[in-house]
Structure 1
Amino acid sequence: MTHANCPRCGGRLARDNGTGRCAPCQAAERDRLGAPPVVPASFWEHDPVRQALAERHLGRVIRAYRCHPYHGRHPLPQAVVAGWLGITQAQLSRVENGPPLVHLDRLTYWAQLLRIPAEHLWFELPGRRRLASRSGIASESSRIGSEVAAAAGAPVTAGTGGGTTDRRRFNTLAALAGIGATGYLGLLSTQSDAPRSIELEHVHFASSLVEELRRVDAAVGADSLCDVAMQVHARMSLWAAKATYSRQVGNALQSALADLSVEAAWLAIDADRRPEARPYLNEAITRARMADDQQAEVGALACLSMLLIRDDRPSESLHCSDAAFRASIGWATPRLTTLLHLRTARAYAALRDGSGFNRELTKAKHAFERGTDEDDLPFLQFVTAQELNGIAGLSYLALNRPDCAIESFRAITTSPSPVFRRNQTYYTVQLADAMYRQGDVNGAAQHGQDALLAVSQMSSGRVNRLLAQVRRNVGQHRQATSVTREFMDAYDQTVRL
């Protein structure tokens, strides 16, 4: 009679061994429950694993990984693998059975954690470069600067003697060059030989580009980025309309294009080009519904709620945030709940409903105190204590309570964020405006002066317009002081550069 062998080490098993593992391997099993094991190269040649990798669905790869014979007669429990990945068992179940992941940060982290060999992956791990010749997509780093600049309609170089606008644009394009590491930068330029078929790596590129646009926007503002995002959106949308793709890729593609549409809309808002934003948000909602992607839909509704406030349509903004709440029932994280309560609070403030504003702001603070979550959507990174105070300050201004607004904005300026520099500067200028409304002209000039250097290094039309208003208000005051004159002279000098 032939005895069974241990699938892990190959050793023969005793007749009464019902575990499917020899004793040494069972001991190793206990040791590795806290982290994934080191598996042999042949592990990745197992047919279910190879099939899942070919489908480019990391959730299915994880399921095949759990059920591999290498682990014995019983699959690894979802709870154990979820613990490795830093998520809950329920979250892992959704990952395994839901649509494919498209966010590169999570894909790369989990692939590295499970030690999946790079040659089996359909995306690039940090520190490695892959040529995407099959897709016809250029990846040479020498083309990064010229292609990004061409997409934005900007010069490739910037001389030291150029104006402020050129320096801002150059700094923005230099920051955007980080997307070259994805290997898909060629999609930013016009292509006559674009692939006829869209694969998941193209969807991953769109998602990584959205993340890069968010990062650069948080640092320097949207003016130079807005046209880049709109042109890339137009080209990828046209390509998606003409190309072929599977149903699985199609759902992921619609979600990625919805995210790109929302980002283009937000950049238009920050560039003070609000009329151009609404069509992108309408498209984002449509694409999200096509893909049955409630997360993308809620992100678009949250942005639309903010836009409607800026367009002086608070009742519609309130209905929009209510729709976002309904769509997020059952899965909203504390950070998303915080954002939606803030949107609602701002709408109530615009409607001059102080009790509604206080109620929603209290709910937002309680949700914020619950902390972050593994399932937080990427765009929620800006929902920080800074943003909570900022929205409260803007709402207080709408309620004609500049004293409370000053307190909220001052909390931001005393604890600056090194990441969200644009928002930090925006709220500093709002502090100057609130102080002017309260009658403190010198205070307004002082904080306007504090914001000048940062504003000169940014390209946010929204921030520029607000600071220009502060300059006009200070200049119209009957009696100038040394503080107000210093601010006005510095502002005028900066504008002339």
Structure 2
Amino acid sequence: MSAPPVVPASFWEHEPVRAALAGRHLGRAIRAYRNHPYQGRSPLPQSAVAGWLGITQAQLSRVENGPPIVHLDRLIHWARLLRIPSPYLWFSLPDQPSAMQSTDAERPDHEPVATLETAGTANPPIPADAATPASERGGGTTDRRQFHALAALAGIAATGFHDLLSGPVDAPRSVGMEQVRYAGSLVEQLRQADAVAGADQLYDIAVRIHSRLSSWATTATYSREVGDALQTALADLAIETAWLAIDSDRRPLARPYLNEAITRARIADDPRMEVRAFAQLALLVRDDHPGESLHSAEAAVRASAGWGTPRLATLLHLRTASTYAALGDAGGFSRAMTKARREFERGASEDDMPFLHFVTAQEVQGIEGLSYLAMGRADRAADAFRAITENIPPALRRNRIYYTVQLADAQCRLGDVNEAARTAMDVLPELDQVGSGRVWRHLAQVRSSLGQAQRPTATSRGFIDAYDQVVSR
């Protein structure tokens, strides 16, 4: 089998499986899973299950027989792959609570599950064991009226949408192309809403939609053709959810969605979706694991061989260039940037995937600026960011704000405190309109740098006071 089978609910009541999960040892649970009577006369081979999990047979043997796994991202990813119901888990999945934990009534201090009222909050409830950094922006809530206004912004109040958020929804017994098209339309509506409202408002909504629609793939029946299309649609949704996690500065929550997207894309034999997932994974892990980022970008290049358009090649070479910069490899960065510019000059194609609309001349210049910043060349970075902020199209407001904040950071590093404060002050009134925790985090770094300056000025103190006032609201 190329993927874990759908098993009945009674599967998880088998005593060896229950005991392993109750003992919080996922490796033993996997061994019990392989040896379950449901699998037939012979246990599932370690090599097959290791392939599902993305590890070698030897590694799976160590997982089954060694100490319990403690890495949350791996626990979440494998629990999702094997479709272990949340009531049997001792940790919380990003989109639902763990029922093995005490209920809210028994633990009044436990964060409530997101509801329709809180689905769009700027600081939503996050599982305590998710190890997610707190936003530096501060509080903020969204009530029912704000949520409906948000939904109306992009027309995502389509039939069935609120049902997916506000209450239990039974998965359809059978899925056809109509439902698959519906899933695809929700992904597109999320993208449109993101352009208007920003990721802070949308991440929880995307998580809920993902949770509900994923149940279609696990419990419904459908033809092979519909199944492939459904896997592609769900991979697209997982990638969009991962992006919203990244942009809202919930980066630790993004990786399981990208791992899932890669798996679904491979099940559906959809190289386009696989390339998208690898490209986003390269972006996600670039700063903390640049070596893995480089491998992910190279995997995307290989998967796109023979069909990739110049714009896609541009994006992948930009991912590679920024990773070389994070590694401090100036030569590798220069070679990759040359390839990116060469591909960009070949122009757009009618075969370009819709998500590539952001790959513009300004984006190429922006990645170059970020790379110079990573390599300690703040002067070259400032030149690139300044050119972007002066020429970026009005429709790409979020990009202009993001690169303006980066310009302020570069000016700080050059010691130009007054200019950095003026640049940051210019963008401060617009930040509430983009809903990006990632942008707020970068601006918080600028504020911290200006606050630590040896010679604060009236201009820098003015920005610090204005920033603190906005955050305290």
> What is the match of residue 335 of structure 2?
359
**In structure 1, which of residues 421, 436, 444 is the aligned counterpart of residue 412 of structure 2?**
436
**In structure 2, which of residues 333, 352, 364 is the aligned counterpart of residue 376 of structure 1?**
352
Counterpart of 2:389, as a letter, is T
Change (3 A) 1:251 1:381: same
> What is the match of residue 405 of structure 1?
381
In the TM superposition, residue 224 of structure 1 has moved relative to its aligned partner by: 1.8
> What is the match of residue 153 of structure 1?
119
In the TM superposition, residue 432 of structure 1 has moved relative to its aligned partner by: 0.4
1:335–1:372 contact (8 Å) kept in structure 2: yes
1:220–1:460 contact (8 Å) kept in structure 2: no
In the TM superposition, residue 192 of structure 1 has moved relative to its aligned partner by: 4.0
1: CA distance, partners of 2:216 / 2:449? 48
SS in structure 2 at match of 1:183? coil
Change (3 A) 1:188 1:153: closer
2: CA distance, partners of 1:445 / 1:367? 37
Change (3 A) 1:455 1:149: farther
Counterpart of 1:470, as a letter, is V
5+ residue gaps, structure 1, are 1-147, 156-162
Rg: which structure is higher?
1
Larger mean Cα displacement after TM superposition, 468-477 or 334-343: 468-477
1:152–1:228 contact (8 Å) kept in structure 2: no
Change (3 A) 1:269 1:453: same
In the TM superposition, residue 217 of structure 1 has moved relative to its aligned partner by: 2.1
Work out the percentage of aligned pairs sharing the same amino acid. Answer: 57
Change (3 A) 1:369 1:167: farther
Give CA-to-partner distance per residue, 1:212-261, whole Å, 9 cap, x none: 22223234421121111111111111232111111111111000100111
Please give the TM-score of this superposition, normalised by the length of structure 2. Answer: 0.68
Change (3 A) 1:168 1:384: farther
1: CA distance, partners of 2:143 / 2:167? 25
**Over aligned residues, Cα RMSD in angstroms?**
2.3
5+ residue gaps, structure 2, are 1-113, 122-137
**In structure 2, which of residues 373, 378, 399 is the aligned counterpart of residue 423 of structure 1?**
399
**In structure 2, which of residues 342, 347, 367 is the aligned counterpart of residue 391 of structure 1?**
367
1: CA distance, partners of 2:246 / 2:451? 27
Larger mean Cα displacement after TM superposition, 229-238 or 210-219: 210-219
In the TM superposition, residue 440 of structure 1 has moved relative to its aligned partner by: 0.8
2: CA distance, partners of 1:318 / 1:367? 19
Change (3 A) 1:281 1:173: farther
Change (3 A) 1:464 1:180: closer
SS in structure 1 at match of 2:263? helix
1:176–1:213 contact (8 Å) kept in structure 2: no
2: CA distance, partners of 1:422 / 1:209? 22
> What is the match of residue 256 of structure 1?
233
Counterpart of 1:176, as a letter, is A
Change (3 A) 1:193 1:167: closer
In the TM superposition, residue 478 of structure 1 has moved relative to its aligned partner by: 2.5
**Equivalence map 1:316-327=2 (5 Å):** 316-327=292-303
2: CA distance, partners of 1:388 / 1:479? 35
In the TM superposition, residue 171 of structure 1 has moved relative to its aligned partner by: 6.2
Is the aligned partner of 1:217 residue 2:194?
Answer: yes
1: CA distance, partners of 2:421 / 2:143? 24
1:301–1:320 contact (8 Å) kept in structure 2: yes
Counterpart of 1:229, as a letter, is A
**Equivalence map 1:57-456=2 (5 Å):** 150=116, 153-154=119-120, 165-166=140-141, 174-177=149-152, 178-180=154-156, 182-185=158-161, 186-310=163-287, 312-456=288-432
Counterpart of 1:286, as a letter, is T
In the TM superposition, residue 384 of structure 1 has moved relative to its aligned partner by: 1.4
